[in-house]
Chains A and B, each alone.
Chain A
Amino acid sequence: MSGDRASSLSRRRFFEVSAGALTTALAVDTGAAALPPPSSPAPKASGALDLTRLTIPQAAAQLRDRKLSAVELTQATLDRIASVDPRVGAFITIAADRALDAARQADREIAAGRYRGALHGIPFGVKDTYYTRGIRTTAGSPVLADFVPDADAAIVERMKAAGAILVGKLKLPEFSFGGTTPGCHNPWDLSRNAGGSSGGPAAALAASMLMATMGGDTSGSIRNPASTCGVVGLKPTFGLVSRHAVVPISWTLDHLGPMATTVEDAAILLEAIAGHDARDRFSARVAVADYPALLNRPVKGLRLGVLASSELEGFHPDVRRAFAEAVTVFERLGAQLRDVTFPARMRTAGSAQEIIRIAEAATYHRQYLTSAAAAKYVSDAGQPGTAVSRVRTTVEAGSLLTAAQYLQAQRARTLFLADTRKVYDGIDALLSPTMPAPAGVPASPRETFRSWWNLSGFPAASLPCGFSTDPPGLPIGLQISAKPFEDALVLAVGHAYERATEWHTKRPAL
């Protein structure tokens, strides 16, 4: 963590981070945090607002009516980060001075009657792959330790245009490679990892350090940590949200999206960041929906596919139980449920996704592999364990793949897309567990059902649907997916579930 002034992240520091994460991985059975009682997010017992527990609409109402200033909210956010983040490790860079300057500007505008809307004065953070003008963007790697962009990512531009206050940059594994985030602890059990690769954005939300963050998802990297940390994460339809000026993994698989503590907050964030951007060549020319206004679409009568129990081989019993209970909630809400299985040939999706991802990543990383920067990657030489970075090895080996091999994987993707479309022909949305097991608990599923939605580009969200019992107190996530550009429907189904349950109101005791 550092202040505004960009300071170099030394290779030594990265080794320390990796070593810390490895220690965490080895200590997964030391017990879980006790589950706090259900609570609503807003008032303290004293009647005073707990500024760290507000939802975006709650904070927005206070800011709009000038009962709360953006400076007060930003300062409370910075105070919470100072208090909690030394234990959680969600941040790489905190831009305190810039945030307070922006908050003062927001207060002046609101006082002058120029209120911009629900995000005006709301603090937010982004994964440290997003370019931020004047603030270093490391992608979690010593390779980019001194990179200070002169422009913002499209998403950061849009959030700032909506009046939101950028507070800091959030942790990830090196160049977003991996399903865990070294040095980022799970707020529900600090001995466990937050998941990844958007581990920092998820942990910051779960620890009540931020109410809005932005992540990235190439193989499930928004939904994995959202599930693992008990928050909401949306991977929008491919092309709905611009990826301009963000450090990539894979151009045809990368998605960027909002993370929040409620589905309504995610809808507000999506509305702010969605829309065509000519600077992203995959950006779609579609109208942006009023996602918050569409949240109340009734679930009654919707045809909801339910991932059949036969597909959940190897999933943790607590995940299967929580998923089954979530399905009964939708049954009570009047949805028409039908079991869904996938054609056997769709199981090659993971292989195609891997080859596409690696070949594209290797192409991006060639600029580093052929320069002095190659020596700056976090080393994996002789170091075992899942927390050790293997980026350099992966992209070096990926550089040896041929164009024909890459294109064969993209041909397999064409078949997968057609099959995916057929699966969704008979349903409006599909329910499935997000992760096969809670944080740090080993599982050997036949298929994890996350990267498929990167290969297809169909929208998918994760939201909390329960807690584990063995080990106790770890969040479990429900994944909701739908047809392309039915992001509003994904959010509406999630919102209906939230209104019928209270899992999203629970926060860890820190």
Chain B
Amino acid sequence: MDITREFIKTLAAANGLTIPEERLEVVQRQYESFLRTLAEIQQLELPRETEPSILYTLEDMK
């Protein structure tokens, strides 16, 4: 899938953000970098029931 400036502009608008025209290119590059990072995570074989560690506690790991 091609990530274009127009795509970034639309995605930002859907999220309630207005990214100035002159900033679209640099934001696009950064977003593409994040997608590459995400691809590495997606390759990880997670056990099916793995829950996210959002509100984890370490107290039981002492």
A39 to chain B, nearest CB (A): 40
- In whole angstroms, what is the CA distance A380 to B30 when docked? 12
- Contacts A351-B37, A381-B26, A400-B8 given: A284-B59 contact, CB under 8 Å? yes
With A284-B59, A400-B8, A485-B62 already in contact, the answer to whether A410 and B26 are too (CB < 8 A) is no
The contact sample of 23 A-B pairs, CB cut-off 8 A, is: A252-B53, A282-B55, A285-B59, A345-B45, A348-B41, A369-B17, A380-B26, A381-B23, A393-B30, A396-B30, A397-B28, A397-B31, A398-B34, A399-B15, A400-B11, A400-B12, A407-B54, A409-B38, A409-B41, A414-B46, A415-B47, A483-B62, A485-B58
Known: A252-B54, A397-B31, A400-B31. A355 touches B17 (CB 8 A): no
Q: How far is the CB of A131 from chain B (nearest CB, A)?
A: 24
In the docked arrangement, what's the CA distance between A409 and B55, Å?
14
- Residue on B with the closest CB to A353? B37
A: contact size bracket: 35 or more
B residues in contact (CB < 8 Å) with A:
8, 11-12, 15-17, 19, 22-23, 26-28, 30-31, 33-34, 37-38, 40-47, 50-59, 61-62
Q: Is B61 touching A421 in the complex (CB atoms < 8 A)?
A: yes
Q: How far is the CB of B30 from chain A (nearest CB, A)?
A: 4
Q: How far is the CA of A393 from the CA of B17 in the complex (A)?
A: 13
Report which of B11, B30, B43 forms a contact with A394, defined as CB distance below 8 A.
B30
Q: Are B34 and A484 in contact (CB under 8 A)?
A: no
Q: Are B53 and A414 in contact (CB under 8 A)?
A: yes
Q: How long is the Cα–Cα vector from A352 to B41 in the complex, in angstroms?
A: 7
Question: What is the chain B residue whose CB lies nearest that of A375?
Answer: B20
Residue of B26, B45, B47 most packed against chain A (CB within 10 A):
B26
In the complex, whether A182 has a CB less than 8 A from a CB of chain B is no
What is the distance, in angstroms, from A370's C-beta to the closest C-beta of chain B? 7
A369 and B58 alpha carbons, distance in the complex (Å): 34
Q: Is A413 interfacial (CB 8 A cutoff)?
A: yes
B53's partner among A366, A398, A417, A486 (CB-CB below 8 A) is: A417
